[in-house]
């Protein structure tokens, strides 16, 4: 009898608990169920389709180089008797820089001049004798040959004497000196270096895609790196039409430096800024549901998101060119795509 009573009590308690749970579930379902006429809207963020002009930028780091750099060279061996320059001196093209010993060359030159004078007089006498047929044609021609050969030797001696006076090949600044008075110099040994620093040049490497931003005679901004950060406008002088082994093209930029403020060998940044000639329709990259190539965006109108297929173009700095499918001012979803289907009711939230 006791077991029957206990079982009855357990069954009653179980029944009461089941009724209680059922009532609680009804209350929770009632709370979750929206009231009549209520429509659930998905929160999204939107951005307007814009019409804009794109500006393309490209920055390259390069090294400043002299516009022209030549070495001071001796053409003839000899002992240096005078040096007329020091490192840092400005020089002009044709300016005398170094003299070597010319005494022996001057003596040889004077000897040849005297020999030529004598041969000239002798040839005049033979010319008169030749007219009177007092000498043979061979004697006359031999003397004429000696005279002409001496003239050549005299010209060579004059040139050798000139080569003893070493002059500047270009105008510029002496950036290196390798010679002292009293030294013996030989041809081919650099005595110094002259650099034209009134203009500088830099060479930048660009790939095939970047090459589209480069134009002949194009103005570019050249900026000196820290600590000065000075800037100057340079100009594209040459674009190599042939790529190197790394498939890059060399672009030469000329940098004016009339006040010699900028120094060769320093690093600079070369900045290209190119604006499109026409404006284009664009939307944020985030507006695309999936990849840009798929061309799927959600356009919000009257609180409804409609899936639209568009044709995308180029991508630039986080924005995508719209070739067709959208109009200026239309709002596209940029956050909340994952919960949307075509026709979903939405609620626009501000960022």
Whether residues 136 and 171 share a domain: the answer is yes
Task: Out of 113-122, 238-247, 281-290, pick the least confident.
Answer: 113-122
Q: Tell me the pTM.
A: 0.60
Contacts of 278 (CB under 8 A, 6+ apart): 53
Could you tell me the residue range of the domain that residue 343 belongs to?
42-54+278-348
**At which of 185, 220, 238 does a domain end?**
185
Contacts of 166 (CB under 8 A, 6+ apart): 72, 73, 74, 75, 96, 97, 98, 99, 100, 191
Q: Find how far residue 141's CA is from the centre of its chain.
A: 67
Q: Total structural domains in the chain?
A: 4
**Residue 15 — pLDDT band, cuts 50, 70, 90?**
low
**At which of 150, 185, 220 does a domain end?**
185
Kindly report, residue by residue over 135-185, the tens digit of the pLDDT.
777 777 777 888 888 888 888 878 777 888 899 999 999 999 999 999 999
Whether residues 320 and 287 share a domain: the answer is yes
Kindly report, residue by residue over 310-346, the tens digit of the pLDDT.
999 988 888 999 999 999 999 999 998 888 899 999 9
Q: Is the pLDDT of residue 30 over 70?
A: no
User: What per-residue confidence (pLDDT) applies to 212?
Assistant: 86
CA dist 304 to 228, 249, 348, Å?
Answer: 56, 51, 10
User: What per-residue confidence (pLDDT) applies to 5?
Assistant: 65
User: What per-residue confidence (pLDDT) applies to 195?
Assistant: 95
Q: Find how far residue 70's CA is from the centre of its chain.
A: 25
Q: Find how far residue 185's CA is from the centre of its chain.
A: 41
Task: Out of 14-18, 35-39, 109-113, 190-194, pick the least confident.
Answer: 35-39
Task: Out of 31-35, 55-59, 151-155, 202-206, pick the least confident.
Answer: 31-35
Q: Give me 305's structure tokens.
A: 């998101």
pLDDT (average), residues 112-122: 82
**At which of 275, 302, 329 does a domain end?**
275
Q: Is residue 190 included in any domain, yes or no?
A: no
Q: List b or e across 93-113, with b for residues whose CB sees 16 or more CB atoms inside 10 angstroms.
A: eeeebbbbebeebeebbeebe
C-alpha–C-alpha distance, residues 255 and 222, integer Å: 8
**Residue 38 — pLDDT band, cuts 50, 70, 90?**
very low
Backbone φ, ψ for residue 128 (5° rounding): -70, -40
pLDDT (average), residues 259-281: 87
Neighbours of 63 (CB within 10 A): 13
Whether residues 163 and 258 share a domain: the answer is no
User: What per-residue confidence (pLDDT) applies to 145?
Assistant: 83
CATH code at position 283: 2.40.420.20
């Amino acid at each position: 009898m006791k077991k029957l009573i206990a079982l009855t009590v357990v069954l009653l308690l179980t029944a009461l608990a089941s009724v209680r749970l059922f009532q609680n579930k009804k209350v929770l379902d009632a709370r979750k169920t929206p009231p009549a006429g209520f429509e659930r809207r998905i929160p999204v963020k939107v951005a307007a389709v814009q019409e804009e002009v794109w500006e393309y930028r490209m920055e390259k780091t390069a090294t400043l180089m002299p516009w022209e750099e030549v070495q001071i060279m001796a053409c003839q061996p000899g002992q240096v008797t005078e040096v007329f320059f020091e490192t840092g001196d400005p020089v002009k093209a044709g300016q005398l820089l170094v003299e070597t010993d010319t005494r022996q060359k001057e003596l040889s030159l004077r000897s040849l001049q005297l020999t030529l004078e004598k041969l000239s007089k002798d040839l005049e006498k033979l010319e008169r004798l030749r007219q009177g047929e007092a000498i043979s044609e061979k004697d006359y021609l031999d003397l004429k040959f000696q005279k002409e050969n001496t003239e050549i030797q005299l010209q060579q001696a004059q040139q050798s004497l000139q080569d003893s006076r070493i002059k500047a090949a270009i105008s510029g600044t002496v950036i290196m000196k390798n010679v002292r008075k009293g030294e013996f110099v030989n041809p081919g040994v650099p005595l110094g270096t002259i650099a034209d620093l009134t203009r500088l040049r830099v060479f930048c490497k660009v790939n095939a895609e970047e090459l589209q931003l480069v134009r002949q005679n194009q103005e570019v901004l050249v900026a000196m790196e820290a600590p000065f950060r000075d800037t100057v406008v340079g100009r594209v002088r040459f674009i190599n039409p042939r790529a190197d082994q790394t498939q890059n093209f060399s672009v030469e930029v000329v940098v004016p430096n009339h006040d010699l403020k900028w120094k060769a060998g320093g690093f600079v940044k070369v900045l290209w800024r190119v604006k499109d000639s026409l404006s284009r329709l664009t939307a944020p990259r985030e507006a695309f549901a999936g990849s840009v190539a798929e061309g799927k965006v959600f356009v919000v109108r009257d609180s409804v998101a409609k899936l639209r297929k568009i044709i995308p173009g180029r991508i630039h700095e986080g924005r995508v060119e719209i070739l067709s499918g959208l109009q200026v001012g239309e709002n596209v979803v940029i956050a909340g795509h994952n919960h949307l289907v075509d026709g979903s009711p939405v609620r626009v939230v501000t960022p």
